[in-house]
Chains A and B, each alone.
Chain A
Amino acid sequence: MAAVVAFFKKLGANRYALPVLLAAGFVLSLVIPQFGLLNGYVQFVLIMIGINIILSASLNLVNGYMGEFSVGHAGFMSLGAYASSVLTVKLLPDLPDAFFFLPVIVGGLVAALAGFLLALLSFKTRGDYLAIITLAFLMIVKSALENIPYVGGPRGMLGIPKLTTMAWAFFWVVVTIWVLRNLLYSKFGRAIAAIREDEIAANSMGVRVREAKILAFSVSSFFAGVAGALFAHLLVFINPSSFDILKSTEMLVMVYLGGIGSLAGSIIGAVIYTLLSNWLQPLGTWRMVIMPLILVLLMLFRPKGIMGFRELPWFLPKREARRKDS
Chain B
Amino acid sequence: MDYFAQQAINAIQQGSIYALIALGYSMVYGVLTMINFAHGDLFMVGAFACLLIASFFPLPFIVILILVMLATGFLGALLERLAYRPLRNAPRVSAIITALGCGLVIENVVLSLSPYAKPMPPLFTVTGYHIGGLSVSTLQLMIIGVSIALMVGLDFLIRRTSFGMAMRAISFDAKTVPLLGIPLNLIISVTFLIGAGLGGAAGMLYGQAYPVIAASMGILVGWKAFVAAVVGGIGSIRGAVLGGYILGTVEVMTVAFLPSTYRDLVAYSLLLVILIFKPYGLLGKAPNQKV
Interface residues of A, Cβ cutoff 8 Å to B: 63, 67, 69, 121, 124-125, 127-129, 131-133, 135-137, 139-140, 142-144, 146-147, 154, 198, 200-201, 204, 245, 249, 252-253, 256, 260, 284-286, 288-289, 291-293, 295-296, 299-300, 303-304
CB distance from A126 to the nearest CB of B (A): 9
CB distance from A61 to the nearest CB of B (A): 15
Cα of A69 to Cα of B96 in the assembled complex, Å: 9
Nearest A residue to B272 by beta-carbon distance? A136
**B181 contacts which chain A residues (CB < 8 A)?**
none
Q: Tally the A-B contacts, defined by beta carbons under 8 Å.
A: 128
**A249 contacts which chain B residues (CB < 8 A)?**
100, 104
Flag if A285 contacts B115 (CB, 8 Å): yes
Flag if A129 contacts B261 (CB, 8 Å): no
**A142 contacts which chain B residues (CB < 8 A)?**
264
Of B43-51, B84-92, B162-170, the one contacting chain A is B84-92
Q: Is the interface of B mostly helix, strand, loop or mixed?
A: helix
Within 8 A of A (CB), among B91-140: 91-98, 100-105, 108-109, 111-112, 115
Flag if B94 contacts A303 (CB, 8 Å): yes
Give 25 pairs: A residue, B residue, CB < 8 Å, sorted on A.
A121-B272, A125-B280, A127-B92, A128-B234, A129-B280, A132-B226, A137-B272, A143-B264, A200-B290, A200-B291, A245-B223, A256-B94, A289-B105, A292-B100, A292-B103, A292-B104, A292-B108, A293-B101, A295-B97, A295-B98, A299-B90, A299-B95, A299-B101, A300-B98, A303-B94
**A245 contacts which chain B residues (CB < 8 A)?**
219, 223
Cα of A121 to Cα of B273 in the assembled complex, Å: 10
Q: Residue B190 at the A interface, CB < 8 A? A: no
Flag if A299 contacts B264 (CB, 8 Å): no
**A299 contacts which chain B residues (CB < 8 A)?**
87, 90, 94-95, 97-98, 101
**A137 contacts which chain B residues (CB < 8 A)?**
272
Q: Of residues A128, A136, A288, A291, which shows the largest number of chain B Cβ atoms within 10 Å of its Cβ?
A: A136
Cα of A144 to Cα of B104 in the assembled complex, Å: 26
Flag if A303 contacts B91 (CB, 8 Å): yes
Contact residue among B101, B102, B269, B275 (Cβ-Cβ distance under 8 Å from A129): B275
Q: Of residues B95, B230, B290, which shows the largest number of chain A Cβ atoms within 10 Å of its Cβ?
A: B230
CB distance from B232 to the nearest CB of A (A): 12
Flag if A201 contacts B291 (CB, 8 Å): yes
**A289 contacts which chain B residues (CB < 8 A)?**
104-105, 108-109, 112
Task: Say whether, besides A63-B93, A292-B104, A284 and B279 are in contact (CB < 8 Å).
Answer: no
CB distance from B204 to the nearest CB of A (A): 24
Cα of A253 to Cα of B101 in the assembled complex, Å: 9
3 smallest A-B Cβ distances: which pairs?
A292-B104, A292-B101, A288-B108
Nearest B residue to A144 by beta-carbon distance? B265
Task: Say whether, besides A292-B102, A300-B87, A303-B91, A146 and B275 are in contact (CB < 8 Å).
Answer: no
